[in-house]
Structure 1
């Protein structure tokens, strides 16, 4: 049971279970399994014990699950987090600190991350877990990116379902976007999305000089504002060492030659999904198109 994907589970708990030959079912605060599934099972609470899960275990009539609690911070001693932001203090008090007596009442086994915690809570007889490296990905992630400003809000909203499907169909892709809190909310819940803070022009120029980006996106909805734009996205994407998927519009058709220095695609979501996945799966095509784009600079 975890609040969501997090390093505590990935570095400590999952390797511990893997070495024990166990394949865990990962649940969040709100993902409650049917009561019968807990019979004879083991529940590991990673850092936090939400009320709904506590009630679920308390309501178990037979075959009570074995309970474990893992912590990689000192969540049981208020003095250790009293200088933290108030919101974080309240979270620890609510989900961790206040659950100590309950954990003891159900005979929970304490799992800890450091010898310091093991020694501090020695009366609980905690088990020390060592961190393990994450499994190596068979293939490196390719970064797909869209670097638009606040004036591109409508284009970003249009792009969101495209990115959702792309990331679902190819786990070797990550998405990078520049934006504020509203952009972060827009893409919240999607895997492998990195939202960068807006930045000044010199900082952005330094950003795109760093290698690592493969596919740049330049969607453009037909609107009076967008019709007046120039094709500078072509310059940014090419300078980043990436190949572009561009909206089929007069803004880009004057510089982008389809299949020669980029892909010109109509603003249809399905078509964009297939174009991005095609580029991601064809390194030779990306190399050829990038060479064509660089020849235009």
Structure 2
């Protein structure tokens, strides 16, 4: 069989590019995966041939789609990769109406052109692929082996690093954080957010709201800190049911142990009590789970972290494209 090379086109280097493609190149030593930011590269200077599989990651811009259309006969295959339910984003109540509409339009434009090239649809999860019963899809799960900065001293911090797309979960965390801050007077809660998030947590002591940042900047930031507990709330909505477990990687990277929503995308990745804690979306249960981990000794938390890292390593096996 021919050895394929993979050309991944996207608007910027995003979490989806990183967790589904760059990580395979980085941790599996696959030099045949090239990720291209279509905002910065002249695509006409790229070399492709009959062994090249070109992949549009979510959306790469109209110019990249037209370039791909012109090159289609020179390629082995064309694929379109999505890591959430982009076609139905406009229906997702958790997304802002404009973001949801834009996301769906990007999918429609991209898939309209790629399907006319005879392209394939690649999905991040089985749940997402099942939403396309008339298509034969390929599943590309996320992989990563987070590098924990063990030289950094552990800080008494628990955190939630999510985007405004999870604004309902952010609002839901407010009373939970308020109670945890009462129980743990020396701990800091860190969250990424805008002025609206700052307003939500304004009356709670020791809450640190940091501004959103590019993915490259976030990777640098998370590689320089060492926290105790990471939160991954995820409401059981139709849109969220198609998500994957990438928050596990984000939490593990900073040396923390996670509290994860159950049900949700983490059920298959988290063995409760071994790699983190699965919790129903009940306020009191979350308060108790966070309290339990914050009260756990450093040694016990490190065991849970080691279990998570071991799972991440095993997850890399047989995960080549």
TM-score by length of 2: 0.48
Per the alignment, residue 226 of structure 1 pairs with 240
Q: Residues of 2 paired with 1:154 and 1:250: CA distance?
A: 15
Q: 1:285 and 2:296 equivalent?
A: no
Q: CA deviation at 1:287?
A: 1.4
Q: Which one has a bigger Cα radius of gyration?
A: 1
> In the alignment, what sits opposite 1:173?
187
3-state SS, counterpart of residue 290 of structure 1: helix
Superposition deviation, residue 141 in structure 1? 5.5
The answer as to whether partners of 1:144 and 1:217 remain within 8 angstroms in 2 is: yes
Are 2:221 and 1:207 aligned? yes
Q: Measure the CA separation in 2 of the matches of 1:239 and 1:285.
A: 17
Query: Using the alignment, how far apart are the partners of 1:294 and 1:141 within structure 2?
Result: 20
Q: In the TM superposition, what is the alpha-carbon distance from 1:255 to its structure 2 partner?
A: 0.4
Task: Specify which of 280, 302, 310 is matched with residue 295 of structure 1.
Answer: 310
What pairs up with 1:213-252 in 2 under 5 angstroms?
A: 213-252=227-266
**Two-structure CA RMSD over aligned residues (Å):** 1.2
CA distance in 2, matches of 1:144, 1:250: 21
For residues 42-99 of structure 1, the C-alpha deviation after alignment (integer angstroms, 9 at most, x for no partner) is: xxxxxxxxxxxxxxxxxxxxxxxxxxxxxxxxxxxxxxxxxxxxxxxxxxxxxxxxxx
| 1:194 paired residue number | 208
Tell me the residue number matched to 2:269. 255
* Distance across 2 between alignment mates of 1:231 and 1:249: 12
Of the three residues 146, 150, 153, the one matched with 2:164 is 150
Alignment partner of 2:229: what SS?
Answer: strand
Contact 1:141–1:172 (Cα < 8 Å) also in 2: no
- Specify every segment of 5 or more residues in structure 1 that has no aligned partner in the other structure, as ranges: 1-139
Provide runs of 4+ in structure 1 moved above 3 Å. Answer: none
Show the counterpart of 1:83: none
Shift of 1:286: 1.1
- Does the 8 Å contact 1:157/1:186 carry over to 2? yes
Q: Distance in 2 between matches of 1:174 and 1:184?
A: 14
Q: Go from structure 1 to structure 2 and tell me whether the alpha carbon gap of 1:271 and 1:202 turns closer, same or farther (over 3 Å shift).
A: same
